[in-house]
Structure 1
Amino acid sequence: MTNVQSVFAKSNVAVVTGGASGIGLAAAKHFARLGMSVVLADLGGDRLAIARDQVIELAGGADEHVMAIETDVSDRESLEALERAVLQRFGRVHVLMNNAGIGPETSIFSPQANWDNILGVNLMGVINGTRAFGPNMLSHGEPGVIINTGSKQGITTPPGNPAYNVSKAGVKVFTEALQHELRNTEGSRITAHLLIPGFVFTGLTKGDRAEKPAAAWTSEQTVDFMMESLARGNFYILCPDNDVARSVDERRILWAAGDIVENRPPLSRWHGGYTEEFKAFLAAKD
């Protein structure tokens, strides 16, 4: 069994997609503080350049351990080019964090481009990243981790933005299958983990708000929780926030699964006929 903590050793290499902001940038900074070599992969522009400078500063001011590469995760060839560049520079990868994500609002009958963009980045970006980097991570024989960023919306699938929910539900299913395959691959020292953030104040969630709501965690809090969970060997990294405790998440997840078992209407939590029953279930202790 892989000692996950040993993966985050000085001079080991971490690749973070969506690394120019939010949780991805917070993770990249955390890895740099540990002395790791860090690769930021994101769309180009000022954000990526600024993020690179910030990570270099945390890496002691020298850029030999930091790369920033413009990458479109929805394009498999772009991720394959990223992997080639990383291997040429650093030789191998120990941490792959497939974190890039977008979340424009959709409905079932939204324009096709909206669906294609969300599924391309949020779901295929994770699949493409894993398939591009995974084989060489397995073959170099050293311990490593693949962290895929999911969402509670991919588990309880609340009404609104169905394309986002579908994409994150796919990330959950893919990452479960990935970990199953990794643990049944002879000689594998790579593990997979599903990061499930709570309400985090990032560019994806802040909307028109300039200040963090009291209910939200910062990206840094989320990364700290992720690292603590990885140290425990957790696969499901189910993050609370300042408004929702884990116990509430657990009841919501159980209720969502119960829709199938009890043959209730889909999304019954938001179905008027089940309002009081759900409230009672949420308040129950077991």
Structure 2
Amino acid sequence: MPDNIIIRDNVAVITGAAHGLGAAMARRFASEGMQLSLFDRDEQALLSLSESLAVKTCSTVGDVASNEDLQTFYNNTKTEFGNVSLLVNNAAVNTGAGPWDEPERWLKHLQINLLSAITLQHLFVPDMLSHHTPAAVVNLGSKEGITTPPGNAAYSAGKAAIKVLTEQLAHELRQIAADRVTAHLLIPGYTWTPMNFPGMDEKNDIQPEAAWTAAQVVDYFITGFTRGDFYILCPDNEVTPEMDAKRIAWANQDIIENRPALSRWHPDWKEQFDTWMKK
């Protein structure tokens, strides 16, 4: 079970580690005594974070959209540490593309939000399976990949694909390794991070009332992960677990009841959705 993974001297690999959730995870894992292999394109922030952690750390600067950089990250990790216990595919961007925008914009977006996770699973999972010790993969999903609100088609599509990818990974790992190597989908709520608030200053800016901090999300993740949850669906200061459950149920019922696409945002269905949420 995952409760014996986040422990002293085990190795965690984190992408997008210099800021936001990645940095919060690095700090939390370091506090548990884990050794860390960190990846980010922001060299200054990555090295500053590494120097602040009182554990053995290997930092690789690169772009998750580059397979060559990801291969270097894997090679550095293997050379420095050998076995890896935890892979966290955290790196993502939310600048995306609309349904008929240029394919090049879609490809650039999906290389970061989806294909990087596939590449790192390809590199690290066979090692995890071969070492016969507990290990896990955590992929960062999004509620936008489940209820798929309009406005950012590439982001919703990429995160929906991450959900399916992680579900498929969890099934295949269960078939091969039972519960020794597992997969988990972390789905943050509204979070105060640079991706949502570009240019934010965590030390001096005022945190929005509705948002959780990255550290709160990591605390919630640790609880669900050690319990063995696959779906780790985070609330925030504005959206409760009950609200999330009703929104997800409504989205799924669009198919069952043959309603218009994204009926939650359809003018003919707004009143019924509001009534549903109040039940």
Range into which the TM-score falls when normalised by the shorter chain: over 0.9
Whole-angstrom distance in 1 between the partners of 2:142 and 2:218: 14
Whole-angstrom distance in 1 between the partners of 2:94 and 2:26: 21
- The Cα of 1:106 is off from its aligned counterpart by 2.7
Change (3 A) 1:105 1:83: closer
| SS at 2:13 equivalent | strand
> Paired residue for 1:7?
5
Whole-angstrom distance in 1 between the partners of 2:41 and 2:18: 8
- Identify the range of structure 1 (99-108 vs 269-278) with the bigger mean alpha-carbon deviation: 99-108
| 8 Å contact from structure 1 (residues 104, 114) kept in 2 | no
| 8 Å contact from structure 2 (residues 50, 59) kept in 1 | yes
| 8 Å contact from structure 1 (residues 73, 128) kept in 2 | no
Which one-letter code corresponds to 2:259 in the other structure? Answer: R
Which one-letter code corresponds to 1:28 in the other structure? Answer: A
- The Cα of 1:186 is off from its aligned counterpart by 4.4
- The Cα of 1:44 is off from its aligned counterpart by 4.0
Q: Select which of 152, 156, 162 maps to 2:143.
A: 152
**Structure 2 gaps, min length 5:** none
Normalising by structure 2, we get a TM-score of 0.94
> Paired residue for 1:214?
209
RMSD of aligned alpha carbons: 1.5
Which one-letter code corresponds to 2:51 in the other structure? Answer: D
Whole-angstrom distance in 2 between the partners of 1:242 and 1:213: 9
- Identify the range of structure 1 (263-272 vs 35-44) with the bigger mean alpha-carbon deviation: 35-44
Whole-angstrom distance in 2 between the partners of 1:174 and 1:225: 22
**Structure 1 gaps, min length 5:** 60-64
- The Cα of 1:237 is off from its aligned counterpart by 0.3
1:251 and 2:242 matched:
no
Whole-angstrom distance in 1 between the partners of 2:207 and 2:178: 45
Q: Deviations over 1:255-275 (max 9, x none)?
A: 000110000000000000001
1:52 and 2:50 matched:
yes
| SS at 1:272 equivalent | coil
Whole-angstrom distance in 2 between the partners of 1:180 and 1:112: 31
| 8 Å contact from structure 1 (residues 11, 37) kept in 2 | yes
Whole-angstrom distance in 2 between the partners of 1:167 and 1:42: 20
> Paired residue for 2:106?
115
| SS at 1:28 equivalent | helix
Whole-angstrom distance in 2 between the partners of 1:152 and 1:144: 25
> Paired residue for 1:76?
67
| SS at 1:69 equivalent | strand
Whole-angstrom distance in 1 between the partners of 2:269 and 2:198: 31
1:95 and 2:90 matched:
no
Whole-angstrom distance in 1 between the partners of 2:178 and 2:153: 39
Whole-angstrom distance in 2 between the partners of 1:251 and 1:184: 32
Which one-letter code corresponds to 2:12 in the other structure? Answer: A
> Paired residue for 2:192?
201
- The Cα of 1:205 is off from its aligned counterpart by 0.4
> Paired residue for 2:270?
275
Whole-angstrom distance in 2 between the partners of 1:77 and 1:182: 26
Q: Deviations over 1:129-157 (max 9, x none)?
A: 11111100111111011000000000000
| 8 Å contact from structure 2 (residues 58, 76) kept in 1 | no
- The Cα of 1:83 is off from its aligned counterpart by 1.4
| 8 Å contact from structure 1 (residues 72, 78) kept in 2 | yes
Which one-letter code corresponds to 1:230 in the other structure? Answer: F
- The Cα of 1:77 is off from its aligned counterpart by 3.1
| 8 Å contact from structure 2 (residues 96, 106) kept in 1 | no
> How many residue pairs are counted as aligned between the two chains?
275
Q: Select which of 172, 182, 199 maps to 1:181.
A: 172
- The Cα of 1:92 is off from its aligned counterpart by 0.7
- Identify the range of structure 1 (7-16 vs 113-122) with the bigger mean alpha-carbon deviation: 113-122
- The Cα of 1:116 is off from its aligned counterpart by 1.8
Whole-angstrom distance in 2 between the partners of 1:267 and 1:241: 23
- The Cα of 1:45 is off from its aligned counterpart by 2.5
